[in-house]
């Protein structure tokens, strides 16, 4: 369970990273839209796990690896933006947010279940 302090700091980081990726994201991933979906911060505020969602990319794993290779540069830019709000700029680690994929799989599963129920109900009525 995150404290209010962690949640507030994570929100600041999320906003600032979103602005960085909006302005300069094409330098890291050309023709790809990057969305920061979630930020989790450690209790000492020294480590931030940043979850990203990608649009217009074929390989999300490769995209995250590319962003992670620029994490030092991104951290420097983040530090310049939050220098008056934080004592320490957290170490950034980027991950793929696969929530959308999970939701799509669950929707397909629920659709299949409802189709199977409709088919079994139709067979019972015809008998």
Confidence (pLDDT) at 125: 65
Residue 22 φ/ψ, nearest 5 degrees:
-65, -45
Superfamily for the 4-96 domain: K homology (KH) domain (3.30.300.20)
pLDDT in tens, the chain (127 residues): 889 999 999 999 999 999 999 998 888 888 888 899 999 999 999 999 999 988 888 888 899 999 999 999 999 999 999 999 888 999 999 999 887 777 778 888 998 898 888 887 766 666 6
Predicted confidence at residue 124, as pLDDT, reads 66
Tell me what pLDDT residue 116 has. 86
Determine the pLDDT at residue 120.
Answer: 78
pTM of the entire predicted model: 0.78
The pLDDT value given to residue 24: 87
Q: What are the structural domain ranges in the chain?
A: 4-96, 99-127
Q: What is the pLDDT of residue 101?
A: 74
């Amino acid at each position: 369970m995150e404290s209010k302090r962690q949640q507030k700091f994570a929100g600041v980081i999320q906003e600032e990273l979103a602005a960085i990726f909006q302005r300069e994201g094409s330098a890291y991933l050309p023709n790809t839209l990057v969305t920061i979906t979630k930020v989790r911060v450690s209790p000492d505020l020294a480590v931030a796990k940043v979850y990203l969602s990608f649009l217009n990319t074929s390989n999300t794993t490769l995209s995250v690896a590319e962003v992670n290779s620029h994490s030092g540069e991104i951290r420097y830019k983040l530090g310049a933006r939050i220098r008056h709000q934080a004592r320490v700029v957290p170490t950034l680690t980027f991950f793929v947010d696969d929530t959308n994929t999970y939701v799509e799989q669950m929707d397909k599963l629920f659709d299949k279940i409802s189709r199977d129920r409709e088919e079994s109900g139709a067979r019972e009525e015809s008998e």
